[in-house]
Structure 1
Amino acid sequence: MIDVLEIETCNELVARFETVIKSPRPSKSGQYFTGVDLGTACIVLAVLDEEGQPVAGAYRYADVVRDGMVVDYIGAVTIVRELKEEIESKLQTELRYAAAAIPPGTDALDSGAIKNVVQSAGFELTNLLDEPTAANQVLDIQNGAVVDIGGGTTGISIIKDGEVIKVADEATGGTHLTLVTAGAYKMSIPEAELFKRDVAHHQELLVTLKPVVEKIATIILEQVAGYEVDGLYLVGGTTCLTGIEGIIEKKTGIPTFKPINPMFVTPLGIALSCTDEALD
C-alpha cells in the first residue's frame, strides 16, 4: 500500500519549518533539539521543540562537503557555528544538543569528521545516522524506498514494515547535473550551479539533464532489485529540480513521490532523532 498520507503529513511539517525559518517560534519549555545536515551544496540547521515541532531554522549554500566527505573542515565548522549563533540570537537561548547524518556506508570514512564539525561548532552530538534513514523519521514510510539525492551521491534506504532492511549510496547527484549544465550552456561551475537552482530554468533544463536523471533512476533500480518496493520517496536538494520525479517514475516503473521542499526533509528527520544524551 502506498503511503500517500505520510507525504501529506511530511508536507505539513516542511511547511511549518519554512515558516519558522523566517519567523522563529520559541518553545515555552526552552528545550530544543537541532538537526545538522552537512550537504554538498547546502548546510541546514533545523531546530525542534520537545514535541517535535519546528521552532527555528537556517541554511547556507556552501562548498565544504563533496560526495559526503568534509573537504573544508574549518569552513564547515565556521558555517555551522554561525548558523547556530544566528538561531540562538533569534531564540534568545543556547542550542545545546544536535544530531547529524552521513551518506549510507561512509561511517568508516568520514563519520569522525562530521562528528568533530558538529562538536567544534559548540554542540553536544547526540546521534549520528545515515541520511535516507533520517529522512524516514519525517516520511514514516512503512514499505518503500527513501531516495536522498544529494550533491555528490544518491543514498537509498529500503523500508519494510517500518524497518530499514538495506542502505546503499552511489556516486551521481546534483554535482553531475551542474557539470552537464555548465557544459551545455558554456558556463562556469558556479554560474551553472546558480542557474540550476533557479526554478524559472527548470523546464528547459529538464531536457538537457534527463540522461543524468535517468542514470540516477537506473541506480535506484539496481539497488531495489529483488525487494518489494511500493513507492519511491525523493528527498535532498537535487530533487528540488521540477519534474525530476516524473522521469524517475517513468524509468523505474515505481510510483514516485516528492515532498513540497525535499531539501528540508532530511534535516528535520535528523532533528527528530536528536536526544538530550550526548554520544561518547
Structure 2
Amino acid sequence: MFERSDMKLANSEFSYCNTLIENFETVTQKPITAPSAVYYTGVDLGTAYIVMAVLDEHFRPVAGAYEFANVVKDGMVVDYIGAIHIVRKMKQKIEKQLGTELVYAAAALPPGTFELDSGAIKNVVEGAGFEVTNVLDEPTAANAVLKIRDGAIVDVGGGTTGIAVLKDGNVVYVADEPTGGTHFSLVISGAYKMPFDEAEIYKRNPENHKEILPVLQPVIEKVASIILRHIRAYDVKEIYLVGGTCCLQGMEKIIAKQTRLPTMKPQNPMFVTPLGIALSCKQGE
C-alpha cells in the first residue's frame, strides 16, 4: 500500500543514517587507528545485545563491538556484575585496537525508566572504567541519527517496545511496553518445538525470515496495536522503526498495514540507537 513511496522516502530521509551505519559496520571489522584528539563512546545495554560504538573527534565511526547478552530484562539491569564484565571486555578490546584509552561514554534507557534504572545503567558503564558524560532516553538518542522532525520513532528491542512522538524535532510523548524480540522467540520456540536459545538463533538468521514472518504475524500485529494506542492522540503521519528486533525482514509491511501509516526503517536498525548514544556523548566538564 505504501511500499513504493516509502522506499523513495526512506532512501532520502535515511541517507545520513544509512551512511553512518555502513561506516560503523565497516569499522567493527576493521577499526580506523589514525589518532584522534578525543573519542566519544556510546554504550547500548540492550535486552538481547550490548553494543559499543566509538566515534572520533569529528563524530565519525572508528571502532565498535557487539555481543549477545542476557544481563538486561525489559529495559532493567538484572545481572549487574555480568553487564560490567561485558562492557569492560569490549572497552579493553577496542582500546587495544585503537592503541589508546577510551575515557568518555554516554548511555541510554528505554523511555519512562529513568527514575527506576538510570543509576544502574550509569553505574555499569562507570564500573567498566568510563567517565559517563550523558545519560539520555533511547528515542532521543535514535533521533540524533534519524534526524526526524515529525512522526513516531518505535524502538522494538529484545524486551520492550519504546515509542516516541516527535513534533518539530522535539519529543512530545514517550511510552514503553513489554513486548519485543523475546516474545518473538517464545512464539518460534512454541511453533517449532525448539528450545528458547535455539529459537533466538533461528530468528536472527535472515535466511529464515520469510519462513517465520507468518508465524510471527500475530505478535507483530500486537506491536502495531501498541503503537496505535500510544499515537492515537497525536497527528502522526509516519512511523520509523529502530531496534534489533526490527531487523526482521518484512516486519515493517505488517505494521504499515495494521496502522495504515507509512512505516520505514533504515538498513540496519540495530545500530541506530548505539550510534545516537555515541553522537550524544561529550567531553567531561
Fold agreement, TM-score > 0.5: yes
Q: Which runs of 5+ in 1 are unaligned?
A: none
State how 1:27-38 maps to structure 2 within 5 Å. Answer: 27-38=34-45
1:108 aligns with 2:110: no
Query: Which of the residues 19, 29, 50 maps onto 2:57?
Result: 50
Which residue number in structure 1 is paired with residue 3 of structure 2? none
Which residue number in structure 2 is paired with residue 238 of structure 1? 245
CA distance in 1, matches of 2:235, 2:40: 34
Which residue number in structure 2 is paired with residue 90 of structure 1? 97
Q: Deviations 1:191-235 (Å, cap 9, x if unpaired)?
A: 110111011111110000000000000000111112122211111
1:180 aligns with 2:205: no
CA distance in 1, matches of 2:93, 2:236: 41
CA distance in 1, matches of 2:257, 2:16: 25
Which residue number in structure 2 is paired with residue 6 of structure 1? 13
Which residue number in structure 2 is paired with residue 75 of structure 1? 82
Runs of 4+ in 1 over 2 A off after TM superposition: 2-6, 26-30
Q: Which runs of 5+ in 2 are unaligned?
A: 1-5
CA distance in 2, matches of 1:92, 1:117: 23
State how 1:208-219 maps to structure 2 within 5 Å. Answer: 208-219=215-226
Q: Deviations 1:213-261 (Å, cap 9, x if unpaired)?
A: 0000000011111212221111100001111000001100111111111
Which residue number in structure 1 is paired with residue 278 of structure 2? 271
SS at the partner of 2:14? helix
Query: Which of the residues 205, 221, 227 maps onto 2:228?
Result: 221
CA distance in 2, matches of 1:19, 1:130: 26
Query: Which of the residues 136, 140, 143 maps onto 2:147?
Result: 140
Of stretches 2-11 and 44-53 in structure 1, the one that deviates more from structure 2 is: 2-11
CA distance in 2, matches of 1:21, 1:176: 29
Q: Deviations 1:69-109 (Å, cap 9, x if unpaired)?
A: 11111110000000011100000000000000001001111
Q: Deviations 1:141-197 (Å, cap 9, x if unpaired)?
A: 010111100011000111111111111101100000010000000011101101110
CA distance in 2, matches of 1:43, 1:62: 7
One-letter amino acid of the structure 2 residue matched with residue 112 of structure 1: G
CA distance in 2, matches of 1:27, 1:46: 16
SS at the partner of 1:208? helix
Q: Deviations 1:101-144 (Å, cap 9, x if unpaired)?
A: 00100111111110100000000001111111110000000101
CA distance in 1, matches of 2:263, 2:33: 35
Q: Deviations 1:46-69 (Å, cap 9, x if unpaired)?
A: 001121111100010011111001
CA distance in 2, matches of 1:165, 1:192: 37
Q: Normalising by the residue count of structure 1, what TM-score does the alignment of the two structures yield?
A: 0.97
CA distance in 1, matches of 2:34, 2:56: 6
CA distance in 2, matches of 1:88, 1:26: 10
One-letter amino acid of the structure 1 residue matched with residue 161 of structure 2: T
CA distance in 2, matches of 1:6, 1:92: 36
CA distance in 1, matches of 2:205, 2:252: 17
CA distance in 2, matches of 1:189, 1:27: 43
CA offset at residue 277 of structure 1?
2.1
